[in-house]
């Protein structure tokens, strides 16, 4: 009986989870230190070749988790990030050769438009306010994959400046 219990205990503690589907992604997140008891809502699962980006809310805070596909076809997590405060997160996930910004919002977000200067080029993007959402923005092409972000401006549904 003792051997059975030890085997069961050791087997559970060493179990490895993969991000192959929504249920397993939540198990992966709950297996990460500091995320064990957080409420997780998956907003979007997006694959870019061997990279999987999952946008989420963790205790209603915007965030995302990155996975890489291993040789057996399973998605192993490599990075997780969740905002500490605020209603949206602004992220630059590591996606193979594509350069994108991902904006994740929770239902308390009142931002309807973002304006930002990236490498001296202004970009404006509409955001879905007052709901959980994921918005992707393609970054301008550069030779060295370096980006400078300046002059962030956030606007509400009435076009009023929220924050500089």
Q: What pLDDT is recorded for position 6?
A: 45
In total, how many domains does the chain have?
1
Nearest 5°: the CA angle 135, 137, 143 is 155
Is the pLDDT reported for residue 3 higher than 80?
no
Q: Which domain holds residue 30?
A: 2-163
Q: Strand pairing partners for 77?
A: 67
Output the pTM of the full model. Answer: 0.86
Distance, in Å, from the CA atom of 156 to the CA atom of 113, rounded to the nearest integer, reads 7
Nearest 5°: the CA angle 106, 95, 120 is 80
Decide: helix, strand or coil at residue 81: strand
Q: What pLDDT is recorded for position 164?
A: 52
Q: What percent of the chain lies above the pLDDT cut of 90?
A: 74
């Amino acid at each position: 009986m003792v051997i059975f219990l030890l085997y069961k205990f050791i087997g559970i503690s060493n179990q490895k989870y993969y991000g192959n589907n929504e249920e397993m992604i939540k198990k992966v997140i709950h297996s990460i230190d500091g995320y064990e008891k957080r409420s997780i809502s998956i907003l979007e699962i997006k694959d870019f070749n061997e990279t999987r980006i999952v946008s989420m809310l963790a205790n209603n805070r915007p965030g995302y988790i990155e996975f890489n596909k291993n040789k057996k076809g399973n998605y192993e997590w490599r990075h997780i990030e969740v905002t500490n405060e605020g209603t949206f997160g602004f992220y630059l996930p590591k996606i193979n050769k594509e350069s994108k910004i991902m904006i994740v919002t929770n239902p308390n977000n009142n931002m309807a438009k973002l304006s930002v200067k990236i490498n001296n080029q202004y970009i404006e993007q509409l955001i879905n306010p007052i709901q959980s959402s994921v918005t992707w923005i393609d970054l301008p092409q550069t030779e060295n994959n370096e980006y400078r972000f300046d002059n962030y401006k956030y606007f509400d549904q009435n076009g009023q400046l929220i924050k500089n």
